[in-house]
């Protein structure tokens, strides 16, 4: 079979010639999915990089016990912080303020990046131009 015989036109709208093999030529020396190689690695099965060992499998009872130990540890840390004078609502307020600060900082850095791109300079140069510290 020559190349002209194997080219068929598929689709009415685009008239793009597409090469389509006829029959099952893989048994007759046609292209295989994996080329022949003298190296075993090409023909071997896939080996996942994530290996689960038998010792890594934990029973549900052991998992529950570990979670209970972790909960007791966290309760102890909370009690220690409260004994030092920290209040939960005050800590939550500080966390909320940190989130707001980080959001504002992200917007500022995004704006500096866009200005730097428009001016064809680096954000480092803009930090010095606007009197900002690199640690800000």
What residue numbers bound the domain in which 66 lies? 59-129
Q: Is residue 124 part of a domain?
A: yes
Q: Do β-strands 16-19 and 7-10 pair in parallel, antiparallel, or remain unpaired?
A: antiparallel
What pLDDT is attached to residue 49? 77
Euclidean distance between CA atoms 32 and 25, whole angstroms: 9
Full-model pTM: 0.44
Assigned domain for 9 exists: no
For the chain, 136 residues long, give each residue's pLDDT as a single digit of tens: 554 444 444 444 555 555 665 555 555 555 556 556 666 666 667 777 777 666 667 889 999 999 999 999 999 998 999 999 988 889 899 999 999 999 999 999 999 999 999 999 999 999 999 998 888 6
33 falls within a domain:
no
DSSP-assigned states of every residue in 56-111: G---HHHHHHHHHHHHHHHHHHHHHHHHTT--HHHHHHHHHHHHHHHHHHHHHHHH
Question: For the chain, what is the domain count?
Answer: 1
In a domain, 89, yes or no: yes
């Amino acid at each position: 079979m020559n190349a002209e015989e194997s080219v068929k036109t598929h689709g009415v709208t685009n008239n793009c010639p597409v090469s389509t093999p006829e029959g099952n030529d893989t048994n007759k020396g046609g292209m295989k999915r994996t080329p022949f190689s003298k190296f075993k690695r090409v023909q071997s099965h896939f080996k996942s990089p994530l290996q689960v060992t038998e010792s890594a499998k934990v029973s549900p009872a052991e998992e529950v016990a570990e979670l209970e130990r972790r909960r007791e540890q966290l309760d102890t840390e909370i009690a220690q912080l409260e004994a030092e004078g920290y209040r939960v609502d005050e800590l939550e307020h500080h966390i909320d303020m940190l989130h707001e600060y980080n959001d504002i900082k992200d917007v500022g850095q995004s704006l500096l990046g866009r200005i730097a791109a428009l001016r064809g300079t680096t954000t480092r140069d803009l930090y010095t131009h606007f009197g900002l510290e690199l640690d800000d």
